[in-house]
Each structure stands twice: as structure tokens, then as C-alpha cells.
Copies of this chain bind each other. A is one copy, B any other.
């Protein structure tokens, strides 16, 4: 692309560094900003800078937080015997939106992925062990996605935490609510048959 303006070219190049945004979309976004009042761009730039500069990780659960300790960890009313291990803040938000979990979280900050050069040492596993070692936790729930990397991470944690007197569980995998059996992939269907549960248990929910 040949730009008539260096300023535009710089802006487009920077926007296009974001994942999933190509040069053409970046140009469209830059031209959009130009049609908006200047204050709009200023607000965007300030919000990004402030976020990147001032955001903290909760010292307890490693979730993103404005304070040294996040709101969930600061809430003494939650159940400290339950610890839910998740990949990142999006999973905390997803689980919180169900209002079904009253324990605390532990954010790993990633998943073990040799392909991407992410090993166990890049996750917050040391802090997880310290937390479990301190004794309050009775059950650790692995709430990771259903991907290969998540399975690897689950297994690693399973081995790592096996020596502690805590119950280790993972969230159920099976047919999503509303989904038709016919269109469910075999692996999911096989799992859901192998991990079947007593009917009475399924209607308690």
C-alpha cells in the first residue's frame, strides 16, 4: 500500500499489529477515527495507555485488578474451601456470570503449549501450590477449555497436586444444553457416555 501521508501510514501500521486486523481493516479504522471528533481518539489513546500502565494482577488469584487484591479475593463471604483454576480473566467472567460458583479463583495466565514455547514455569503454578499447601482449600476444580493444551495442563496439574490432600475435579464435558445428539462430534459424545451420571443427579441442577 502506498500512503500519501506518513502519519496515516504509522497509524495504520500500529493498528495492523493487533491480532486479526489486517492493513485494510486498519485503514478503515483510522479513517473512521478521522470522521469522529478528535476527543474520541484522545479518549481511546488515554484508556489504552492507562490500562496498560496501571493495571495490576491480584496478588491472590492473579486476575486483572485495579487494586493489589481483586474484588472476589477481597470478599470474605465466599467459600475458601473451593478453588477454581482457570486460564484467564475471560473464564473468570464467564463463570461469574453463571452465579453458580461461590469459591475463589486461581488464574493460570495461560496453558502449557510447547508449540508456542509456553511451559509450566510460565504459569502461576508455584503460587497455586503455596495456596493449596496453606491448607484452606479442600477441592480444586480444573475449569479449562476442552483443547489439547488445556488437557495437557490439566494432566500436569493433576500430577503436581496429587500429593496434597485435596479433591481434584474438572468441569463436566458433554453435550451442550440445547444441542442435538445427531450433530454432536464423536469425541464429545463418547466422553458424555463414558462420564454418564445417575439420572437423579442430573435433575438436581
Contacts and interface: CB of A to CB of B under 8 A. Distances in A.
A30 to B, nearest CB: 6
The 4 lowest CB-CB distance pairs between A and B, nearest first, are: A11-B51, A45-B45, A41-B52, A14-B47
Interface residues of A, number: 58
Nearest to A46: B45
A32 B18 contact: yes
Contact of A8 (B2, B11, B45, B64): B64
24 contacts: A1-B93, A4-B64, A4-B72, A5-B55, A5-B64, A6-B66, A7-B50, A7-B54, A8-B51, A10-B50, A11-B47, A11-B48, A13-B47, A14-B43, A14-B47, A15-B44, A15-B48, A19-B28, A31-B89, A33-B48, A33-B51, A34-B52, A38-B53, A41-B53
A13 to B, nearest CB: 8
Contacts of A10: 47, 50-51
Interface string A20-49: 100001011111111000101111111111
Contacts of A93: 1-4
A6 B96 CA distance: 17
Contacts of A17: 40, 44
